[in-house]
Amino acid sequence: MSQQQTRTALVTGGNRGIGFETCRQLAGAGLDVVLAARDAARGRAAAQKLRGPGHRVRAEELDITSAKSVQECAERLAEAGIQIDVLVNNAGVYPTDGFFSLDEDTFSHALDVNLMGAFRTCQAFVPAMGRRGYGRVVNLSSGLGAVTDNIPSPAAYGITKAALNALTLVVSAASAPSVKVNAVCPGWVRTDMGGSGAPTSVEKGADTVTWLATLPDSGPDGGFFRNRRRIAW
Ligand code: NAP
């Protein structure tokens, strides 16, 4: 593959928030973008907003809690001749319950989205990256799941993001050196999840995501980053 080849990025939960802004930034950087959303109509509407001269954005239905949905999305892309070079595991949920008020369904759903979703997409898309000799994986984590900070978050969110960090290290070690797998804390960002009082704009929140998604071959692998700087797990 030449350095000039156009790369294709798939972003989960691309229809709003940091995922949508990441799609916008990646399309602006010249990548082909697959904007994945669990609701097909919302995905199509979001992709339509981003299309323009030189901005190639395709919508795909993808519910990361469903192995079938992940498999069908991968099959549709393969049938269309689209190879995924960059995977941004952005989709996430933020339950706010403390540990002793957390019910099993809420915890289980958070695990399914925040951890198992990335497990499913990594298994679906990362092996082919290794075979082709190029790949970038960015997992949207959070400082609220940092074990060095005693996981300072609502229970399910912190546990699932700490587990996503563990998955990041394991996928990084399991992948070819040409595939760079990193986690990012975008900061506290003004989205539906972060709320209107959050200090960080969505553009700034997505900046480190875009940076990790477009790392040069000399870039880091198996790290955790905020504001383009390495932070402690
Ligand atoms: P958001 O505005 O709440 O958007 C969440 C996105 O995830 C939506 O597109 C949502 O789709 C999607 N999603 C949820 N469940 C899904 C599923 N089963 N399958 C596919 N997509 C699903 O969140 P955000 O603030 O942009 O956050 C994006 C990521 O950054 C998350 O992983 C979050 O934990 C992380 N993060 C955010 C902040 C912050 O301050 N905002 C801080 C640290 C980390 P629907 O529209 O269909 O619901």
Average pLDDT over residues 160-168: 98
State both tokens at 92: 């996430």
Task: Tell me the average pLDDT across 200-213.
Answer: 98
- pLDDT at residue 33, as a whole number: 98
Q: Are strands 135-140 and 179-184 parallel, antiparallel or unpaired?
A: parallel
Indicate which atom in ligand 1 lies nearest the CA of residue 143. Answer: 43
Residue of 25, 73, 90 to mutate, ligand 1, most atoms within 8 A of C-beta: 90
Is 188 touching ligand 1 by the criterion CB < 6 Å?
yes
Q: What is the pLDDT averaged over residues 74-102? A: 98
Segment 195-224 shows an average pLDDT of 98
Sign of CA pseudo-dihedral 229, 126, 64, 100: negative
Average model confidence (pLDDT) across the chain: 97
- Which pLDDT band holds residue 227 (cuts at 50, 70, 90)? very high
So which residues are the catalytic ones? Answer: 157
| Probe target for ligand 1 pocket from 10, 11, 15, 18, with the most ligand atoms within 8 Å of CB | 18
3-state secondary structure 59-95: EEECCCCCHHHHHHHHHHHHHCCCCCCEEEECCCCCC
Tell me if residue 46 falls in helix, strand or coil. Answer: helix
User: Spelled out in words, what is the top-level CATH class assigned to the domain 3-230?
Assistant: alpha beta
Band the pLDDT of 2: cuts 50, 70, 90.
very low
Chain segment 17-56, per-residue pLDDT in tens: 999 999 999 999 999 999 999 999 999 999 999 999 999 9
At 144-162, the pLDDT tens digits run 999 999 999 899 999 999 9
Q: Is the pLDDT of residue 1 over 50?
A: no
| The pLDDT of residue 3 is above 60 | no
Q: Which atom of ligand 1 is nearest to the CA of 16?
A: 9
Q: What is the pLDDT of residues 99-154, one digit of tens each?
A: 999 999 999 999 999 999 999 999 999 999 999 999 999 999 999 999 999 999 89
* Degrees, nearest 5: CA angle 6-1-122: 75
Report the pLDDT value the prediction gives residue 4, as an integer from 0 to 100: 67
Q: Does residue 65 have its Cβ closer than 6 Å to ligand 1? A: yes
Q: So what's the pLDDT on residue 122?
A: 98
Could you state, in order of their start, the residue ranges of all structural domains in the chain? 3-230
Closest CA to 130 of 73, 88, 174: 174
